[in-house]
Amino acid sequence: MSEDTPAPASRRLLLVRNTAWNQAAQLVRMLSQFILLPFIVNRIGATEAGIYFLALSFTAYFGILDSSFSQPLIKFIAEYRATGEDDKLRASVRAVFRVFTGVGVVAAMLLGAAGIWALGILEVPQDQTSLARATFAVAAIASLATWPMTTYDNILRGIQRFDLVSKVSIVVTAVAFTGQLIAIASGLGPPVLIGITLASVAAGMSVSRYLARRELPQIRSGPGTPRSISKRLAGFAGTLFLIGLTDLVIYQVDRTVVSVTAGVAAVTIYEFAARFHKVPRDLHAIAVSAGMPAASELDAAGDRERLAKLMSDGTRFTVALVLPVTIAILALGRALTSSYAPPEAWAPLVIFTSYWVLNANTGIPSVILAGMGRLKVLLVYAYAVAALNLILSILLARRYGVSGVVAGTTISYALAFPVFLAISMRVIGVRFFEFAKRAWWPAYPMAAVLGGVLLLAAGPLARSGNFVLTAGSGAMAVGIYLAVFWAFAVTKDERKDFTDALTGKRQALPSESLTEEEIAVVPDSRVTPHTKEMESE
């Protein structure tokens, strides 16, 4: 163990530090994507940009396997390290490394095949076929190099060094960002752009390999993989895989549906809408990330009263964080697109983002149900939304294009929301009117006022054509919202709890009883919300 490894006495501070570094890296990635997107589209055109985003989307299809095997590895490393079972620790690392190597080979083969046979189905123009094939070929080669190395990032997470993973990620993002800007300015196309992206990732993973072997030298040698370890890993990963499939259908297949029904250039429009939709989605993931361990403790103690309070109060703060950002994006949607995206991206942006007005309420109930072991509810909910989304997206896409695809997602979540919330309340033991009073007041009335003010400002901001001014105005309005909420809707005791958590004070912190294994599964920003719900398995 390195000297920088925090002592067990700093568990709460460790949890805060890990989460903060995770989200700092995510923020850097998000900002770089926002800045690069219009440059890419304006310099190389919508069709070539669509090819680039489509190739990235195909590589993201395999992210479900990353989530499925990464989380068990993180858990097992923390567990076996705590118990001193180095043989089992090494066996787990080897098993996942072999799986990821196999995934890299399969991903390369499928990407290569897609570049040869699937471009016609994806409506890639004939004169762009050679360019698309080269782009997919570069992505295929990169997959061979990057997938096995993913193992080492997860080793660092398993030993509580999220800070190292995030620092490497920030440097990788900066290098890729700089390289892509130079490539765009030089007039280079999608193959070079995706090559720079994936080469930067591969270099970062090499650094992670060095850091992992330095921090945990016992992974370097040892016996093979016992059948019991493989069986346990496969069972855990299989459950995560089933949940992760729904996220794949909802957020990744949509791009393919857009390409098939509206042409590859339309994928670029979808990408603009998805960039803004991702902001409240990521904020939601941050807000609920620490809820499951607390729910597990309360359920184990049979404290249903505090579980109910966790659902109401946790949802209140989650809504207060996610809702104003969602409202700002919706109210300023036309102004944002007029200065940042093609005009036709406005409707998909608003439709796609709008379901977070309701879905801001689903995260805390989800992590509580996972902490209680009520995974059947989450499975049924996830698959119902995914199936309805796929059906509606296909039906609506041919008539409404990108707007129809994103409407399929929004309608699916909107229809499932009241059913899911009602079931969650019944299982957890929350009364509707008590929940509505604690979770929705005054967040929603304040959001209505915020939306009205921003709608008045939207016209002048749209005419200004200044994206920085528009985004800054929205951010300032959200900041005022949060300040008012903090002043009038947060109690003195709640303020003290937040302050103590952020400053690392140790008094009156129930989560001090978290085990090393629970601390080990601090959610990674790359992991889908559905995957996070399974970390208590």
User: From CA 22, how far away is CA 10, in angstroms rounded?
Assistant: 18
For tokens 């193992």, name the residue.
151
Q: How many CB atoms lie within 10 A of CB 178?
A: 13
* SS3 label, residue 125: coil
- Is the preceding omega at residue 365 within 30 degrees of 0, hence cis? no
* C-alpha Rg value of the chain to the nearest Å: 23
CB 133 within 8 A of CB 94: no
User: From CA 88, how far away is CA 71, in angstroms rounded?
Assistant: 16
Instruction: Give the tens place of pLDDT for each residue, 286-298.
Output: 677 656 545 665 6
pTM over the 0.85 mark = no
Can you list the residues of the chain whose pLDDT is less than 50?
A: 1-12, 15, 293, 501, 504, 506-537
Structure tokens at 474: 């929205």
Structure tokens at 35: 């800045």
User: From CA 412, how far away is CA 393, in angstroms rounded?
Assistant: 10
Q: How many CB atoms lie within 10 A of CB 67?
A: 23
Instruction: Give the tens place of pLDDT for each residue, 171-211.
Output: 988 998 999 889 888 878 888 888 888 788 888 888 988 89
**DSSP letter, residue 510:** G
Secondary structure element (H or E) that encloses residue 99, with its range: helix 86-117
| Alpha helix ranges (H) inside 45-85 | 46-60, 63-83
CB 16 within 8 A of CB 160: no
Q: What is the pLDDT of residue 418?
A: 93
Instruction: Give the tens place of pLDDT for each residue, 235-260.
Output: 767 766 777 777 767 776 777 788 77
User: From CA 285, how far away is CA 30, in angstroms rounded?
Assistant: 14
User: From CA 481, how far away is CA 471, in angstroms rounded?
Assistant: 15
Structure tokens at 25: 């890296």
User: From CA 403, how far away is CA 347, in angstroms rounded?
Assistant: 6
Q: What is the pLDDT of residue 513?
A: 41
> Rounded to 5 degrees, what are φ and ψ at 215?
-75, -30
